[in-house]
Structure 1
Amino acid sequence: MKLLIIRHGESEADILNVHEGRADFDLTEVGQQQAILLSEWIHSHYNLDKIYSSTLKRATQTALLLGNKQQVDIVYEEDLMEWNNGLIAGLSREAAEEKYPEIEGLAPHDAVYEQESVLDFRFRAEKILSKVISENPGDTTIAIVSHGGMINRLYQSFLKLPFDTNVIVHCGDTSLHEWIIKDNQRHIVFSNRLEHLNNLK
């Protein structure tokens, strides 16, 4: 099985410099162009069998451009959404810091400000990755369109790393990551590939 893990394009929250998370912003014009270039690059290198996407706008808009290019079905999964950042979603970084300051020493199962705990976030990644792998044949090529935080949790799950690992994988706008599962082994072919953006105007 080949898995293409994709981060959405630039969103309006990136321009506004606010906490995004579950705040549901559209792609910017640049983000749309990034997604178009991504879909064209993928179309010339892969034949997708299915696309899974987060239900947040910035991901669905990216997935739709990819799906239209490949003419494949999109499965929308809430479990692929970004970390639930609760009450800070959509707030400026200054306002969030003032109203909801970071609390040190929280247990991994605990959360504040209506947010998602570290363990719950990781469990979502485990659950959706298990679902994708189990419900598709081993000879398929699957794309997953999600968010930087969730993609990092998917990496942790794929590589069976501990939930509190300090390994961080960089995920640029419309970054592409290729994984392969073959003979019960898990391979990282590449990560954070942004070659398709070379033609971005």
Structure 2
Amino acid sequence: MMKIYLIRHGQTDWNIQGRIQGSHDIPLNETGLMQAQMLAEGMESKPVKKIFSSTLKRALATAEALRNRQQAEIIPMPQLIEMEFGKWEGLTWDEIEEKYPIEYRHWVLNPSEAAPPGGESQNQIIKRCMEVLHIIVEQTGGREDIAVVSHGATLAWLVSVMLGPDMQEESIIVENASITTVHYSPLTEIFTVLERNDTSHIKKGKLI
């Protein structure tokens, strides 16, 4: 049996501005760096042997803060980068709807097949998430507690893939530097969410 701690990276300036980051390599801001340290402290009671991380700077910096506390191995995984939004990256949702009204409506009505111009469809990111789960189970045997550091949309889809078709991605919220804990049984091959979107380790007063 294993526990998988799904961790979203700390805050970036684009998070504050409401801009779609996608595959853009946006670094953590000062608050995000503090959140990463608080996350690492909060994870001290949840030791892991491996940290599977997106290769984007904001995720790797979060993973490194955790690694420095636990001396765990970081395993970079390009499959864990954020969902790619193509030409929509750098824009807010209001700007996207204004500049790409036809493409945006098509994407909203048929997200599984449609994709932002130059970006990914939901079917494509689901395929990536399935690859991630296969690699993680293969490399751990389903018997090592691990952390997975990634991004909002990718983590939401990862949880959705874990729990099956009844779980909609839209209902899964993961805040910056949050921890979602999932149990996996190698005997039954069943994933169970134990705790979702935990941010209790973030000391709000220090971020003001």
Verify same fold: TM over 0.5: yes
- The answer to whether 1:145 aligns with 2:154 is no
State, as a whole percentage, how many aligned pairs show the same letter: 30
Q: 2:68 aligns to what?
A: 68
What's the CA shift for 1:135?
1.6
Distance 1:160 1:14 in 2: 29
TM-superposition CA deviations, 1:107-166 (whole Å, max 9, x none): 623324111011111111111112111221333111000111011111111112268x36
TM-superposition CA deviations, 1:167-190 (whole Å, max 9, x none): 511111111011111241422110
Q: Secondary structure at the match of 1:173?
A: coil
Q: TM-score, normalised by structure 1?
A: 0.91
Kindly provide the amino acid, as one letter, of the partner of residue 65 in structure 2: L
Unaligned runs of 5+ in 2: none
Q: TM-score, normalised by structure 2?
A: 0.88
- The answer to whether 1:119 aligns with 2:123 is yes
Q: Which moved more, 1:24-33 or 1:94-103?
A: 94-103
Q: Secondary structure at the match of 2:176?
A: coil
- The answer to whether 1:186 aligns with 2:186 is no
Kindly provide the amino acid, as one letter, of the partner of residue 138 in structure 2: S
Determine which structure has the larger helix proportion and give its number.
Answer: 2
Q: 1:51 aligns to what?
A: 51
Distance 1:157 1:191 in 2: 15
Q: Secondary structure at the match of 1:103?
A: helix
Contact map agreement 1:22 1:84 (CA 8 A) in 2: yes
Q: Which moved more, 1:129-138 or 1:186-195?
A: 129-138
How many pairs are equivalent? 199
RMSD of aligned alpha carbons: 1.9
Q: 2:41 aligns to what?
A: 40
Contact map agreement 2:87 2:116 (CA 8 A) in 1: no
